[in-house]
Amino acid sequence: MSTVRIVLLIIIATVVGYLSFGVYQYESDRRAVKDDLIELSNVKYGLFNVDQWKNILADLIVKKVEEFDFSEGGREELKAEISEFLTTTINDFERRYNRSNSGSFSGFLRRSVANITDIFGQMKKDIPIFTEQIVNFMDNPENKGQIKKYLLEEIDKYTEGTFAQIDYAERDRILLKYDQANMELATNAMKANVADLEKSSERLKTVLFVLAGLAGLFTLFGRNLIAPEYMLLTLLSLFLLAGGLALPMIDIDARISEMNFNLMGETVRFEDQVLFFKSKSILEIVQLMMSQGKTDVFLVGLLVLLFSVLFPVTKLICSTLYIYSKGIRKNRFINFMVFKSGKWSMADVMVVAVFMAYIGFSGILNEQLNQLGSVAQSVDMLSTNNTTLQIGFFLFTAFVVLSLLISQRLSGLAKQVQLDNTN
């Protein structure tokens, strides 16, 4: 019977190792594609992109110039608006002229000449002539083109002198990498690629966690476990730990899903604008912290490395030594690591901390995104928080549970050994 169980455990451990490596490969490929997708969806290429706004304004200006209504009714309405504008402008100019030429003899002479010649009155009489000339000028197709050209040139001058230029090197690299002509085509291709990789990965994850669950049940309810079985269970938990450390635990993702507003009578729309995105595994976090060159950050990274990586690995090694070496079972360090370190290794605390960080980030991002939506009263905006727990979290949790079950069974084995020695 023990031989059958060992064979089954060998099969389960082998399949778990194979599946863990397969999940790692799929997730690595998915992360690479998703990182590129996030880059193209970044708000700097959309809502915060000056070139994007230049194109939007250029299209609106061209459309508005082309839409000038020069039919009889539209022509009269346009003439009325121009006439009102010219009247207001001339009246304002007359007031400023009189005000600037008051209080001095030379100013009195200039005002007298203006009154005698009635220059402002003549200008007002000629407003209908000016209006007709302006409308005729605007109605000329060639002049329309000149108006559009002038306005577009002014937009270019304004944006170039006001805003920093956008670096498109990374965007161009991604478009070249996926052999796509523009961002929309590249984004659609990458989304399809990510979906395919996630679908393939999900199948492996399902089988992996089913087998991990069976291993946990076997550890909990299996009778008279022997050394090879403990060894295989320990190896299986090592596979889970490796995946939990190497794969991301959380994707922190805040974005504007949809934003609509009215500009010059036209609807302007932005979709899927990424505001913030981070995806890190425990090992990546450790590497990042220890490479910052700051003592406090380095110490935090060292603690994460110690309690999340070195402690669990040392515990697995000590468990293996305890199983196969009877002479070492009395060693205090080995006994501490196998039976006492569960409450000090912080593996379970790490899982809870990650989960609480997820809740915290989720709440913070939701609150900030809601405030962003409430600030823009005239904008129809849907902001979303796509923060999600990732496979690394669940693999690390599975390792924690299985390692605790193994420690519990080893504790029972130790008591049995002591009892046999006593007898």
pLDDT digits (tens, 9 = 90+) for 188-240: 999 999 999 999 999 999 999 999 999 999 988 888 888 788 888 888 989 99
Same domain, 24 and 92: no
Same domain, 37 and 67: no
Per-residue pLDDT at 144: 67
Same domain, 212 and 282: yes
Would 279 be classed as within a structural domain? yes
Lowest-confidence region among 137-141, 166-170, 220-224, 356-360: 356-360
What angle is formed at CA 292 by the lines to CA 290 and CA 295, rounded to 5 degrees? 75
Same domain, 103 and 241: no
For residue 232, give its domain range. 2-43+201-422
Same domain, 346 and 249: yes
Per-residue pLDDT at 313: 81
* CA proximity to 80, closest of 121, 120, 134, 119: 134
DSSP code of 330? T
Is the pLDDT at 146 greater than 90, yes or no? no
Q: Which of 162, 192, 211 is the last residue of a domain?
A: 162
Structure tokens at 76: 């009269």
Would 188 be classed as within a structural domain? no
Q: Return the amino acid letter for 91.
A: N
| Overall number of domains in the chain | 2
Q: Which of 103, 131, 162 is the last residue of a domain?
A: 162
The span from the first CA to the last CA of the chain, in angstroms, equals 27
Percent of the chain with pLDDT over 90: 17
Would 143 be classed as within a structural domain? yes
Residue 407 contacts by C-beta under 8 Å, 6 or more apart in sequence?
Answer: 315, 319, 338, 339, 342
Per-residue pLDDT at 348: 47
Same domain, 80 and 205: no
Q: What is the mean pLDDT of the chain?
A: 77
Calculate the alpha carbon distances from 91 to 102, 133, 260, 277 in Å. 17, 20, 40, 57
Would 12 be classed as within a structural domain? yes
DSSP string, 65-115: HHT---SHHHHHHHHHHHHHHHHHHHHHHHHHHHHHT-SSHHHHHHHHHHH
Would 116 be classed as within a structural domain? yes
Give the residue-averaged pLDDT of 313-332: 76
Per-residue pLDDT at 209: 94
Q: Could you count the other beta carbons within 10 Å of the beta carbon of residue 223?
A: 6
Per-residue pLDDT at 195: 93
What pairing do the DSSP bridges indicate for beta strands 250-263 and 388-389? antiparallel
Same domain, 341 and 306: yes
Composition of the chain by helix, strand, coil, percent to 5: 75, 10, 15
Instruction: Between 182 and 303, name the one with better pLDDT.
Output: 182
Q: Which of 115, 139, 162 is the last residue of a domain?
A: 162
Per-residue pLDDT at 356: 47
Per-residue pLDDT at 28: 92
Per-residue pLDDT at 420: 45
Is the pLDDT at 259 greater than 70, yes or no? yes
Same domain, 258 and 371: yes
Is the pLDDT at 123 greater than 90, yes or no? no
Would 214 be classed as within a structural domain? yes
Would 284 be classed as within a structural domain? yes
Same domain, 295 and 401: yes
The pTM of this model reads 0.70
Same domain, 385 and 292: yes
Same domain, 86 and 217: no
Same domain, 39 and 76: no
H-only helix segments in 41-71? 50-66
Would 48 be classed as within a structural domain? no
Give the residue-averaged pLDDT of 16-42: 92
* CA proximity to 9, closest of 208, 215, 204, 206: 215
Confidence of residue 297 (pLDDT cuts 50, 70, 90): confident
